[in-house]
Amino acid sequence: MYKFYFLISLCFSNPIWATQYQSPNDFVNDAFSGKPPTPQSLWVTPALKETVANILQHKPGFMRTRYWQADNKTVWILKEIGKTQLITVGIIIQDNKIQNIKVLDFKESRGWEVKHSFFTDQFKSITMNPDLSLSQRIDGISGATLSVHALTKTAKLALFFNQQINQ
């Protein structure tokens, strides 16, 4: 219970080294060439909650997530804890494959290397296996293990959510 309370509380604490690389709105605008569709919402129902908890390896701190969808493209803005702070990640999925993943906001004091394209490019064209694992292995970065895990989890979560809305 304490851990859950702590995770939720992180949504509203901003350490001095917090860096926003791009606002979620700008990311969504860029993804749809300046003409984003109306956002929609996916509720984390009790049926989904267990799988979401398995992917995140903790109880989800939210009950609803928003997404933008046009043609075969969906865009997700997801937040996940690195070590002690939340990392906001934008993910574009095209035809059930990750087209782009970008760190939008990084509040951790370490592990910021995950924002670089040499790392995020590994996610391009990745899909989700039936056992909820990613179709390709993601190489880690020394000293940024927890941030790497956080990004990997958000990628899995976005692919899982994408599967749910396309069912």
Among 17, 19, 63, 110, binds another protein (CB under 8 A): 63
- Which residues are CB-contacts of 51 (< 8 A; sequence separation ≥ 6)? 132, 160
Q: How far is the CA of 102 from the CAs of 54, 121, 160, in angstroms?
A: 23, 9, 18
Does 8 bind another protein (CB under 8 A)? Our answer is yes
CA atoms within 13 A on the CB side of 112: 12
Residue pair 127/60 in contact (Cβ under 8 Å)? The answer is: no
For the chain, how many residues are written?
A: 167
Among positions 90-149, residues that touch another protein (CB under 8 A) are none
Q: Which of 23, 37, 2 is nearest to 103 (CA)?
A: 23
Q: Which of 47, 55, 62, 94 binds another protein (CB under 8 A)?
A: 62
Round to whole Å and give the CA distance between 86 and 88: 6
Q: Which is nearer to another protein, 33 or 41 (CB)?
A: 41
Which of 64, 137 has the CB closer to another protein? 64
With CB under 8 A as the contact rule, which of the stretches 59-67, 108-116, 121-129, 135-143 interacts with another protein? Answer: 59-67
Q: Does 39 bind another protein (CB under 8 A)?
A: yes
Cβ at position 121, least distance to another protein in Å = 26
* Stretch of 34-42, 93-101, 114-122, 127-135 lying at the interface with another protein (CB under 8 A): 34-42
Backbone torsions φ then ψ of 105, nearest 5 degrees: -145, 130
By CB under 8 A, name the binding residues for another protein: 2-3, 5-6, 8-9, 11-14, 23-24, 38-41, 61-66, 79
